[in-house]
Structure 1
C-alpha cells in the first residue's frame, strides 16, 4: 500500500491557491461540516481552542471522508512530543505557532522527521502508516509531510528570510492578530501599519520562493492577499460564524 498523498503539499508545489477555514470547535461534526462546504483545507486548531490532542483523531477521520479537502493541524506549541503524536494520528500538514528564529524552525523540522534526519520516534502500527500497511513508511514519510511555520511577532518578521529558508519549511503563515499586538497595535489587525508589514512579508517570501499564507476575517484583505500571491488563505473561523449568525438572527427579531 502506498503512502497517503498530501494534496495540500502538492498544491503548494504547483502554485495552486488553496482556500481554507478554521476549526476551533471540538468533535467530529463541525470539521466534517466544514469539509463538506468545499474548502480546500480545514485547520484543526489546538492552540487557541479547547480542542485537545485526543480530539484531533476524530476530526481527521471526519475530514478524510472528503478526499479533495486537506486537514491541517496546529499544535498548541512547537513541541516534539505533541508533533510526534499528531503525526502518528495521520496528520500530514502541521502549522507550528510562534516560531521566532531559524533554530526554532529547525527544531520543528527535526520533530517532523525520523532519524537520522530528525528525532521523531518510530512506531509501527499507527494511522499515519495505514496501521503498518504503507510500504516503507518510516523511510518515505517525509515525502508527504508538510511543515508550515507561523511568523507572528516583530522579532520573527525581522528574521523572516532566515526562518523561511530553513530546509524542511514548506510555507510561512503570517498571524495578523499576534503580529498587530507585537507591532504596538493590540486588537487592530487591520491597522494600516500592520497591513503594510504583512503585505511586505508576502513580497519578501515570494522573492525567495517560499509560499505564504494568512487567516483574516476581513474579506477585502483576504482578496487583496490572494491578489498579492498568498498560497493558502483562510477566510473564516467556525466560532466567529456561529456568533455572527446567531447575533444577526436575534437582531432581526428585535
Structure 2
C-alpha cells in the first residue's frame, strides 16, 4: 500500500498490518528528506519491504535518498532507455556511475560501520522505474533491457492521461497497455508491478503476470473511513453538507 501521510506513526501502523510492502511516496505527498528518514526508521524491523519514490529522476536527489538508507527506489516518469540509464548511473559509484561519495556521513553505510560499503553498495539497492506514458510503453522493451533496471512499475493514472483518457485508468486501451508491459517484463525475466485500487483489476493484473500491486493508500483509507463514520452518525443537511447543531450550513466541498 501507499504511505502518503508523511507520518512515521502511520507508516509504522501500516508496517505491522501484515501487508508485505509499502511505498513511501514523495512525488505526490508532503514528504521531505527528514520525514522519509523518520518513516524508514519507523518501519525498520517489521516484516515489510519499503519502496521509496522521490519526486523526480534527479541525480542529486537520488544521492540524498540513498545516503538516507533507502535501498529500494521507484523512479517516476521514466520515458526512455536513456532516462533509465541516467537513474542507474545515479545509484552506482564511479567508475560504473556518478553517485557522490559520502559514506562516512551517511546512514546508508552506518557512518562507515559497514565493511566495504563502497564496493558492495550496488548489491544492496534495487531500482524500479515507472512506466506511465505512451512513450514509455512504446520503449518498454528497451527500458527493460537496461542493465541495472531491476523492475518496472506501471502507473495507469498518468498513462491514461497521456493517452487522452484522463481519469479513465480502467479504460480497455489503458488496461491493454498495462498488460503489454507486464508481458514484456515477463519476457525480459524482470518483475513488474502496477497500481490498482479496484480489487477486481488488481486480481486481473496479478493473473496477467504482475509480481507486486499497490491496492490501497493510508490517506485514502482514512478519507473513506472517516466519510463512512460521518455518513453513519452525523445528520446530513438537505444540500448534502453536514448538519451541525447551532452552526450555519457547512459546505460539502471547497
- Residues 182-201 of structure 1: pairs in structure 2 closer than 5 A: 182-201=162-181
- Residues 53-132 of structure 1: pairs in structure 2 closer than 5 A: 53-66=33-46, 68-123=47-102, 124-132=104-112
2:9 to 29, 35, 38: 29
Secondary structure at 1:54 match in 2? helix
User: Distance between the aligned counterparts of 1:134 and 1:125, measured in 2?
Assistant: 12
For the pair 1:230 / 2:210, whether they are aligned, the reply is yes
What's the CA shift for 1:46?
A: 0.3
User: Distance between the aligned counterparts of 2:41 and 2:188, measured in 1?
Assistant: 35
- Residues 1-40 of structure 1: pairs in structure 2 closer than 5 A: 21-40=1-20
User: Distance between the aligned counterparts of 1:122 and 1:156, measured in 2?
Assistant: 31
User: Distance between the aligned counterparts of 2:215 and 2:111, measured in 1?
Assistant: 34
What's the CA shift for 1:234?
A: 1.0
For the pair 1:154 / 2:130, whether they are aligned, the reply is no
User: Distance between the aligned counterparts of 2:149 and 2:187, measured in 1?
Assistant: 16
For the pair 1:210 / 2:190, whether they are aligned, the reply is yes
What's the CA shift for 1:27?
A: 2.4
**Maintained 8 Å contact 1:46/1:53:** no
User: How many residue pairs align between the two structures?
Assistant: 233
**Maintained 8 Å contact 1:75/1:97:** yes
What's the CA shift for 1:65?
A: 2.9
**Which ranges of structure 2 fall in alignment gaps of 5 or more residues?**
236-254
Secondary structure at 2:105 match in 1? coil
- TM-score by structure 1 length? 0.89
Secondary structure at 1:44 match in 2? strand
Q: Which structure 1 residue ranges, 4+ long, deviate > 2 Å from structure 2?
A: none
**Which ranges of structure 1 fall in alignment gaps of 5 or more residues?**
1-20
> Residue deviations 1:143-166, cap 9 Å, x none?
110000001000110000001110
> Residue deviations 1:129-153, cap 9 Å, x none?
1221111000001111000000100
Secondary structure at 2:50 match in 1? strand
Ranked by relative contact order (alpha carbons within 8 Å, sequence separation 6 or more), the top structure is 1
